[in-house]
Amino acid sequence: MRVYRARFLAALALTGILVLMVLGGVGIFRLIIKRDEREVRETVQETMEIVDEDMGQLDELKEKMKGTEFVLILDAGHGGSDVGTGDASYYEKDINMDIVNEMVPLLEYCGVKVLLTREGDETVALEERSGYANESEADRFVSIHCNYCEDDASVAGLECYYWESSGVGRSYAESIVRAAEESGEIKVRGTRTQDFHVLRETQITAILIETGYISNGEEGRKLMSFDYQKTLAFYLVKGIVEGYLDSVAEPVGM
């Protein structure tokens, strides 16, 4: 009897130790993940120079994005031999790329998978951009541009274009405009429709954002400044993520 009891106790003790080891392992694993998440957060906040309040807003979006799989094609307009608008001192293609580069880390932080139509100063035809979108499994296509008004230098403000018959496109454009208006720093002209190639030929919901007018002295200078590009990037990301979350949210009540 004694021998059996001793064996039983030994087995019990061993099981206990094993359970503790497993639980301890899980605990340590969780701590490592938490530490990694904290480090990622700190890196994003520092490198992208985001103030605490804005970082808090990104955290909220990240939390809401959990469990969703949002793939976004981000299209920096023009590039390479196609310089876009602007004069000899600057090109639209470069401003577009700068804004996109500011947006990517913020989107990824929120849990969005981002695909780019160009990563540097490359020439990419419009057909390649829409073709890439149509071959991909992406959910949304967002094209970033700057505008130019030759006749009237006083014209300024952000515009968001959607394909006329697309209801989802329209509400998506509205969410971008709403986020930009909330900023209090971005002048907004509103949503519009136009026969742009990327809106017409892209099968997934597509919008084109004219972030502002280079032809307007004040807005042109802002568009070329690092600070304003960051402001634009932050609020565009907010609108892009919030608009997506709204569109996948289940309808409430009847």
**At closest approach, how far in Å is the CB of 85 from Zn ion?**
6
**What's the token pair of residue 55?**
């970082």
Binding positions for Zn ion, rule: CB under 5 A: 77, 84, 145
**At closest approach, how far in Å is the CB of 145 from Zn ion?**
3
Q: Which is nearer to Zn ion, 102 or 159 (CB)?
A: 159
Residue nearest to Zn ion (CB): 145
Q: Which residue has the tokens 């989107």?
A: 107
What is the Cα–Cα distance from 171 to 154, expressed in whole angstroms?
A: 28
* Distance set, CA 130 to CA 85, 143, 247 (Å): 21, 11, 22
**At closest approach, how far in Å is the CB of 178 from Zn ion?**
23
Q: Which is nearer to Zn ion, 145 or 230 (CB)?
A: 145
**At closest approach, how far in Å is the CB of 113 from Zn ion?**
25
What is the Cα–Cα distance from 210 to 247, expressed in whole angstroms?
A: 22
Q: Which is nearer to Zn ion, 77 or 220 (CB)?
A: 77
Helices and strands per DSSP (H, E), number in the chain: 8, 6
Comparing C-alpha atoms, which of 137, 142, 237 is closest to residue 182?
237
Comparing C-alpha atoms, which of 111, 144, 55, 57 is closest to residue 244?
111
What is the Cα–Cα distance from 31 to 89, expressed in whole angstroms?
A: 51
> Quick one: DSSP state of residue 82?
B
What is the Cα–Cα distance from 188 to 202, expressed in whole angstroms?
A: 25
Q: Which is nearer to Zn ion, 78 or 222 (CB)?
A: 78
**At closest approach, how far in Å is the CB of 92 from Zn ion?**
5
Q: Which is nearer to Zn ion, 208 or 241 (CB)?
A: 208
Q: Which is nearer to Zn ion, 77 or 79 (CB)?
A: 77
**At closest approach, how far in Å is the CB of 77 from Zn ion?**
4
